[in-house]
Structures are given as structure tokens and as C-alpha cells.
């Protein structure tokens, strides 16, 4: 498939956005009737990002650019979904700008950005090497901020678009032996809220997707397997379905699975009780 700049349907909004209408607490009004256009998915060479790319391809009408580090795996996913591939390490200087230029060149102004790139690290904080702290912060937080910073002006200029940030329930409840990962995912959630407020008067929406445990290579890569029996891992396709549903409905915040919002709410509403329960039951 060729990836000539895509400019069809620019007159109509292609994804639901907040616009200037008053927004509900967890959902922004759906102004759009059709969902198609151009999209960038980061972290698309594996796991959740690859599932999101396949989900968008199954919907049809999305002209996509995929980013990941590993060129072989990224090209394989890109070939499956007829997308353009931009293999690159997002923590390298200026990659965000080069990626943005590539997207504009290949598929035109982005209607949708799904930021999935991320790494984990598990173990005692005091045993965490400085290089690992830097990598988790650089990939999960800084590179996401830089990519979003590149794309938001193009979306606000068109008064249309949606940014989807893949967070983690670790950022909502804080997970033992995942201190830095929990901290950066919490930061991503607060960033999503703050950016949404800032963009409220524009047609650009921000969705924070908060998965629990997902069956991907994430755990093998961080070098510590997921061994708990509960919560049970969900398939990455389930997260991809939630992403698509959130894009279609203009949702601000989505937990996957949905029941995970309960511990997050208990922690928010009764932090002392939550800390007791978390200490007692892990
Ligand atoms: N799996 C879970 O249980 C879980 C739960 C909650 C949230 N999440 C979040 O979901 C997102 C996706 O994770 P996943 O489970 O799909 O893990 P995964 O299968 O390991 O995929 C991670 C993706 O991030 C990319 N990536 C890592 N470092 C990068 C860098 N420096 N530059 C560019 N791309 C980079 C990887 O590219 P390469 O493969 O090419 O290196 C890969 O495409 C992450 O943000 C993660 O924190 C995962």
C-alpha cells in the first residue's frame, strides 16, 4: 500500500471531541458520526499497541503510522495492517519531531494519537539501578509528553482530534515494588486531566486508558514475571477494544477491566482504609 498524504474528509470531524460544549465528568460529547482518518500508534511493535493497530485496521478507514523500536517486529505488524512504519527509539533526541514530520508526510494531519510505548521495572526501589529509573521515566513519561507536544498543535489548528494515553492501574493505586513505574503512570494520568482542561475549548479530546494486568511480553521484558492469581491478565485485544470504544464515544477515562475503577475510587475516597487493605492483602 502506498502512503500518500491523506486529506480526505478533512471538512468533517473524524473523532469525537470535547469542542466548546460543556463536558461531563468522564465523557466528552460525541460530535462525530464517522470515525476515520489518520492515526499514529506508538508501542505498536508488540502487545497493546499492536492490538490497537489491528483494531483500527479492522474498523477500516484509518491511515496509520506505527512506531516501535524493533524494526522486524514493527514491519511485521505494519504489513499486517497496511500501515507505514517508523522504527525509532523515542528517547533519542528529536525523534518526536522526526516522527511528527513522518506522520504529516505519510498520512497527513493526525486525527488520533494512541501512545502505548512503555517499559516496566519491578523490585525494591533501593535496588533499582539509576539507568533503569532513567529508562522508565524517559520512555513512559518524557517521550510520551514530547510526542503529544508535537501533535497537539496540528490537532488544535484543525479543531479536531483525540489523544489516547495508555496508563496503568499502578498509577491509580500504587503498586509495591513498582514505585517508579507507579509514579510515572500517576503522572501520566494527571497530565491527561490537566491537558484535557487546557484543550476544553478546542475540538481536541484526551482519553486516559487504565489497564490492569495484560497478557503481553511486558513482564518478560522487565525480567519479573506476573505471578499473582488476581487480577487475572486480560488479552491485549480487550484493551484495544476499550481504546476503540473510548475513541468512538469520546470517553475521558476508561479502566480495563472496568471493575478496577473500584479500588481506585476507594483509594481516592478513603485513603487510610485503602492503605490498610493494601498492606494487609498486598
Ligand atoms: N502489560 C500490562 O500488564 C500493562 C498493564 C498496564 C499498562 N500497560 C502499559 O501498556 C503499554 C504497552 O505495554 P505492553 O503490555 O503492550 O508491553 P510490550 O508488549 O512490551 O510493548 C511495549 C511497546 O513499547 C515500545 N517501546 C519500549 N521502549 C521504547 C522506546 N524507547 N522507544 C520506542 N518504543 C518503545 C516497544 O517497542 P519494541 O518492542 O520495538 O522495543 C513495544 O512496542 C505500556 O505503556 C505499559 O506500561 C501494560
Select which of 181, 226, 255, 274 is catalytic: 181
Give residue 197's domain range.
Answer: 37-281
Is 59 a domain residue?
A: yes
Is 263 a domain residue?
A: yes
Is 9 a domain residue?
A: no
Is 21 a domain residue?
A: no
DSSP letters for 108-171: -S-SEEEE-------S-GGG--HHHHHHHIIIIIIHHHHHHHHHHHHHHHHT-EEEEEE--HHH
CA pair distance 192, 211, nearest whole angstrom: 15
Query: Mutation test of ligand 1: which of 40, 47, 184, 210 has the most ligand atoms closer than 8 Å to its C-beta?
Result: 47
Q: Which three cell numbers stand for residue 187?
A: 503522572
pLDDT over 90 at 2, yes or no: no
Q: Which residue's C-alpha comes closest to atom 26 of ligand 1?
A: 117
Is 114 a domain residue?
A: yes
Q: Which of 108, 88, 3 has its CA nearest to residue 43?
A: 88
Percent of the chain topping pLDDT 90? 77
Q: Which three cell numbers stand for residue 51?
A: 492490538
Confidence at 282, pLDDT banded by 50, 70, 90 = low
pLDDT over 70 at 30, yes or no: no
Atom of ligand 1 nearest to the CA of 49: 16
The yes-or-no answer on residue 6 being catalytic is no
pLDDT: which is higher, 102 or 277: 102
Kindly report the CATH number assigned to the domain that includes residue 272: 3.40.50.720
The arithmetic mean of pLDDT across residues 7-13, rounded, is 35
Query: Mutation test of ligand 1: which of 48, 96, 134, 146 has the most ligand atoms closer than 8 Å to its C-beta?
Result: 48
Is 15 a domain residue?
A: no
Ligand 1 pocket, residue 119 CB under 6 Å: yes
CA pair distance 184, 129, nearest whole angstrom: 16
What are the tens digits of pLDDT across the range 195-251?
A: 999 999 999 999 999 999 999 999 999 999 898 878 899 999 999 999 999 999 999
pLDDT: which is higher, 212 or 276: 212
User: Cis (ω within 30 of 0) for the bond into 231?
Assistant: yes
Q: Which three cell numbers stand for residue 279?
A: 498492606
Is 90 a domain residue?
A: yes
pLDDT over 70 at 190, yes or no: yes
Q: How many domains does the chain have?
A: 1
Ligand 1 pocket, residue 189 CB under 6 Å: no
The reported pLDDT for the residue numbered 231 is: 85
Q: Which of 94, 7, 19, 85 has its CA nearest to residue 53?
A: 85
The arithmetic mean of pLDDT across residues 174-195, rounded, is 97
Is 31 a domain residue?
A: no
What are the tens digits of pLDDT across the range 99-129?
A: 999 999 999 999 999 999 999 999 999 999 9
Amino acid at each position: 500500500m502506498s502512503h500518500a498524504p491523506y486529506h480526505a474528509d478533512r471538512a468533517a470531524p473524524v473523532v469525537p471531541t470535547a469542542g466548546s460544549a460543556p463536558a461531563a465528568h468522564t465523557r466528552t460529547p460525541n460530535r462525530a458520526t464517522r470515525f476515520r482518518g489518520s492515526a499514529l500508534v506508538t508501542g505498536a511493535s508488540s502487545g497493546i499497541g499492536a492490538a490497537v493497530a489491528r483494531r483500527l485496521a479492522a474498523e477500516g478507514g484509518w491511515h496509520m503510522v506505527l512506531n516501535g523500536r524493533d524494526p522486524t517486529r514493527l514491519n511485521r505488524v505494519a504489513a499486517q495492517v497496511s500501515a507505514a512504519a517508523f522504527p525509532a527509539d523515542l528517547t533519542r533526541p528529536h525523534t518526536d519531531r522526526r516522527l511528527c514530520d513522518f506522520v504529516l508526510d505519510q498520512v497527513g494531519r493526525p486525527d488520533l494519537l494512541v501512545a502505548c510505548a512503555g517499559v516496566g521495572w519491578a523490585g525494591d526501589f533501593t535496588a533499582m539501578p539509576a539507568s533503569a529509573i532513567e529508562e522508565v521515566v524517559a520512555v513512559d513519561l518524557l517521550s510520551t509528553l514530547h510526542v503529544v507536544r508535537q501533535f497537539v498543535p496540528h490537532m488544535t489548528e484543525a479543531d479536531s482530534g483525540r489523544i489516547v494515553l495508555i496508563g496503568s492501574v499502578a498509577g491509580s493505586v500504587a503498586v509495591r515494588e513498582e514505585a517508579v513505574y507507579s509514579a510515572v503512570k500517576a503522572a501520566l494520568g494527571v497530565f491527561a486531566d490537566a491537558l484535557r482542561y487546557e484543550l476544553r475549548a478546542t475540538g481536541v479530546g484526551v482519553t486516559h486508558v487504565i489497564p490492569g494486568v495484560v497478557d503481553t511480553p511486558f513482564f518478560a521484558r522487565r525480567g519479573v514475571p506476573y505471578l499473582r492469581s488476581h487480577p487475572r491478565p486480560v488479552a491485549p485485544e480487550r484493551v484495544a477494544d476499550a481504546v476503540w470504544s473510548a475513541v468512538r464515544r469520546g470517553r475521558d477515562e476508561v479502566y480495563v477491566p472496568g471493575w478496577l475503577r473500584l479500588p481506585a475510587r476507594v483509594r481516592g475516597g478513603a485513603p487510610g482504609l485503602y492503605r490498610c487493605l493494601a498492606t494487609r492483602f498486598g
